[in-house]
Amino acid sequence: MSSVPVITIDGPSGAGKGTIAQMVASHFDWHLLDSGALYRILGVSANHAGLIPAVDEASFKHDLSVNQQQNITSLATELSIEFVINPRSKEVEPLVNSVNLALQIRTDDAAQFASKVAAIGSVRDALLDLQKNFAKPPGLVADGRDMGTVVFSEAKVKIFLTASAKCRAERRYQQLINKGVGANMRALLQSIEDRDQRDQNRSVSPLVPAADALVIDSSELSIEQVFNQVIDYASEKVV
Ligand code: C5P
């Protein structure tokens, strides 16, 4: 087992994991793994390669065939994925086979593609080493769904951050409105519920808190309150 300290932050989409993981990583000056970005990259790339249909096609709801699953797994092993810092925005952006997919992976369709490919066991296995390699000194904050249960099951600190679906949809709605993008509350709530349903009920690495995770419900909490709870809890264990 690696001796690099790891803090895992798992939970459903929109609970604030990404923001909290970034804040915690910069607080300790540790590396950050956004594992959802890997599934989004693979989902978008699989769609570009014609291996999964568009979200609005009726066949999107069908289970993927064994052949499709094998092709997506091969794609997962072939993609060259690199994360670079955009010098202007300072945001971390993915280069996939040298193409910057920063914008494409942040759409709601990309999230749906991600949860579709994430339900394939062989895909999750193919991405395992890539994720484990993010654990480098002085430490790692890993954000995802199965960081504490599977990928870093030996982590010293495990957080499960959740919030009600309604609250998560409202936050996403506000984010989109603030960006000047139109949004439909009912469609957002539906998309979050569909994704929760797929993530929680899949047979491989379903979204569940690790037995030794601290569960935080952020529905009624500010980002600062969540951050402080995580730092108080983590500092006792990793510093
Ligand atoms: O966290 P994010 O919303 O970017 O993740 C997109 C999708 O990728 C999730 O809905 C989930 O299906 C999948 N995912 C996963 N395991 C992870 C991270 C993300 O299955 N560790």
The residue whose CA has the least distance to atom 6 of ligand 1 is 36
Establish whether residue 35 lines the binding site of ligand 1, counting it when its CB lies within 6 angstroms of any ligand atom: yes
| Inside any domain, residue 167 | yes
| Inside any domain, residue 149 | yes
Element (H, E) at 109: helix 108-117
Distance CA 68, CA 52 (A): 8
CB 140 within 8 A of CB 8: no
Establish whether residue 145 lines the binding site of ligand 1, counting it when its CB lies within 6 angstroms of any ligand atom: yes
Run means of pLDDT, 10 residues per run, the chain, 239 residues: 88 92 96 96 97 93 94 97 90 94 94 93 96 96 96 97 95 89 91 88 90 96 97 91
Query: Which pLDDT value is given to residue 13?
Result: 85
Establish whether residue 172 lines the binding site of ligand 1, counting it when its CB lies within 6 angstroms of any ligand atom: no
CB 12 within 8 A of CB 196: yes
| Inside any domain, residue 28 | yes
| Inside any domain, residue 133 | yes
Query: Which pLDDT value is given to residue 2?
Result: 63
Centroid of ligand 1 to alpha carbon of 181 (angstroms): 23
Domain count, the chain: 1
Which pTM does this prediction carry? Answer: 0.92
| Inside any domain, residue 1 | no
| Inside any domain, residue 238 | no
Residues 102, 106, 107: CA angle, nearest 5 degrees: 130
Q: Where are the beta strands (DSSP E) in 19-175?
A: 31-34, 81-85, 92-96, 99-100, 140-144, 157-162
What CATH number is attached to the domain comprising 126?
Answer: 3.40.50.300
Q: Where are the beta strands (DSSP E) in 86-176?
A: 92-96, 99-100, 140-144, 157-162
Q: How many CB atoms lie within 10 A of CB 106?
A: 12
List phi, psi (to 5°) of 53: -75, 170
| Inside any domain, residue 207 | yes
Domain that holds residue 206: 6-228
Query: Which pLDDT value is given to residue 233?
Result: 97
Strand partners, 19: none
| Inside any domain, residue 48 | yes
